[in-house]
């Protein structure tokens, strides 16, 4: 809701810039999509490595 209100204020103050932002936002979203996917993959890999490294400590802690 806040983003829409800010866009309306921008539209009133400078409508060409607001229309350019409206048109370019989906293009920028599509350009950043591969980087978000790569970030998700790296996050998953690091979480897997963290789980593998901490597994012995978790096994020892569960025996007590």
For the chain, the first-to-last Cα distance in angstroms comes to 52
6 domain-assigned: no
3 domain-assigned: no
59 domain-assigned: yes
* Tally of domains in the chain: 1
What's the pLDDT tens digit per position in 19-50? Answer: 888 899 999 999 999 999 999 999 999 999 99
In terms of residue numbers, what domain contains 43?
Answer: 24-64
pTM score above 0.75: no
| Distance of alpha carbon 11 from alpha carbon 23, whole angstroms | 13
Of all residues in the chain, the percent with pLDDT exceeding 90 is 52
pLDDT-derived band at 64, boundaries 50, 70, 90: low
């Amino acid at each position: 809701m806040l983003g829409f209100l800010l866009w309306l204020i921008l539209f009133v103050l400078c409508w060409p810039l607001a229309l350019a932002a409206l048109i370019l936002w989906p293009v920028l979203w599509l350009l950043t999509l591969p980087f978000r996917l790569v970030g998700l993959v790296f996050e998953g890999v690091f979480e897997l490595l963290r789980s593998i490294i901490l597994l012995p400590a978790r096994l020892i802690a569960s025996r007590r």
